[in-house]
């Protein structure tokens, strides 16, 4: 009898122990899941790319102006159609075949839907500062490599447990590391023709070799090299937060080469489409990644004013945004009368990350209210 009772209690104890271990396992697994499934956020900028080309395609007047285009007939074969819908699809096929159906497009001023730069200067340093810090600084800083003392969203997220050591930035423009205050922040930043880390990475060595062969280097690295650098880093390290700054559109606009401006825009659209395919076919990123795409400033629209920008050029504060992925409403192109600002992007990023971005040294604008609760849009 005693042996039977002992056997019974041993069996019962083992069952309870199994149940306890099971719940401990589930609890541990859930904690691990929470840490590994924090949303991934990619911020992509197309320097100085106008809202007019995003929403209308190639400009009716500029595409046929021999002062800005070398071969008008050839360029029109590639980018022109009398139908605006077809025209913008020719220039930005990923935007209009994918994002317009699965995400959001903001800033078509033909419908009164506006995205503005809040800073008064309408040039790149203040523009990127506004995007990355949530603050339209009144202090003027020219487009030169000087330290930015404002707190940025990337450094903030890098201080959060779910994102620590998983933040990176790659930029064609060599001033971006200063805007992100690279020397005083602990995350990977690569800008301009800065060399990549070659240790145990043969592809970085190849990219460095190619970079070293480029003649007549400027302040802006070729976008394909920036993308190759970022893509390799993504595949090797799987960052959860990535900034990718592409810049050749602005360079060719300043050179008044509208044909090259269009070619670079289409190339960037292809880069973004390829990057989206990459993350959606990688189990680390799939269905848990948001792309936020925008520009740092607008440009002029009349005559040769399209080639320049600044507080003295009308239209320079007119920008746009595109969003797709986790937590983003799928309304496509917004046609309601509304206005949002570049300074709202930083807190929108933190909202998607389920964090509260605040800075001790400056204010931070509120998130954009058109995105939906991530929990409701998984």
pLDDT interval class at 374 (50, 70, 90):
low
What pLDDT shows up at residue 5? 42
Reference 352, options 327, 331, 322; nearest CA is 327
What pLDDT shows up at residue 17? 36
What pLDDT shows up at residue 37? 83
Pairwise CA distance, residues 134 & 348, whole Å: 9
pLDDT interval class at 225 (50, 70, 90):
very high
Q: What are phi and psi of 220, to 5 degrees?
A: -120, 120
**% of the chain beyond a pLDDT of 90:** 85
Architecture of domain 40-377: 3-Layer(aba) Sandwich (3.40)
> Is the predicted pLDDT of residue 96 greater than 50, yes or no?
yes
Which of 17-21, 163-167, 172-176 is the least confident region?
Answer: 17-21
Q: What are phi and psi of 188, to 5 degrees?
A: -75, 125
Q: Mean pLDDT, the chain, as a whole number? A: 90
Q: Domain ranges in the chain?
A: 1-36, 40-377
> Distance from CA of residue 113 to its chain's centroid?
21
Pairwise CA distance, residues 289 & 102, whole Å: 13
């Amino acid at each position: 009898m005693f042996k039977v009772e002992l056997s019974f209690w041993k069996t019962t104890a083992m069952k309870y122990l199994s149940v306890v271990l099971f719940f401990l396992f589930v609890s541990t697994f859930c904690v691990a899941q929470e840490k590994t499934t924090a949303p991934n956020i990619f911020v992509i900028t197309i320097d100085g790319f106008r809202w007019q080309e995003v929403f209308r395609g190639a400009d009716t007047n500029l595409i046929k102006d021999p002062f800005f285009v070398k071969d008008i007939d050839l360029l029109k074969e590639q980018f022109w159609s009398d139908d605006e819908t077809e025209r913008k699809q020719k220039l930005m096929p990923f935007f209009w075949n994918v994002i317009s159906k699965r995400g959001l497009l903001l800033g078509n001023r033909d419908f009164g839907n506006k995205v503005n730069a809040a800073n008064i200067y309408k040039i790149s340093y203040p523009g990127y500062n506004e995007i990355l810090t949530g603050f339209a600084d009144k202090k003027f800083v020219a487009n030169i490599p000087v330290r930015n003392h404002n707190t940025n969203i990337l450094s903030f997220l890098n201080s959060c447990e779910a994102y620590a050591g998983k933040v990176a930035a790659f930029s064609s423009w060599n001033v971006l590391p200063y805007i992100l205050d690279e020397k005083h922040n602990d995350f990977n930043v690569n800008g301009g023709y800065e060399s990549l880390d070659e240790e145990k990475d043969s592809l970085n060595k190849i990219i460095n070799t190619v970079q070293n062969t480029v003649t007549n280097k400027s302040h802006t690295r070729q976008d394909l090299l920036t993308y190759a650098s970022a893509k390799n880093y993504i595949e090797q390290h799987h960052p959860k937060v990535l900034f990718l700054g592409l810049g050749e559109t602005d360079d060719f606009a300043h050179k008044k080469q509208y044909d090259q401006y269009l070619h670079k825009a289409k190339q960037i659209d292809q880069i973004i489409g390829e990057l989206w395919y990459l993350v959606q076919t990688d189990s680390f990123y799939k269905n848990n990644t948001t792309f936020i795409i925008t520009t740092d400033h607008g440009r002029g629209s009349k005559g040769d004013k399209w080639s320049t920008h600044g507080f003295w050029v009308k239209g320079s504060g007119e920008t746009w945004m595109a969003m797709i992925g986790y937590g983003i409403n799928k309304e496509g192109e917004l046609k309601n009368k509304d206005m949002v600002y570049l300074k709202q992007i930083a807190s929108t990023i933190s909202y998607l990350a389920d964090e509260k971005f605040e800075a001790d040294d400056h204010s931070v604008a509120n998130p954009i209210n058109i995105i939906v609760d991530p929990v409701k849009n998984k």
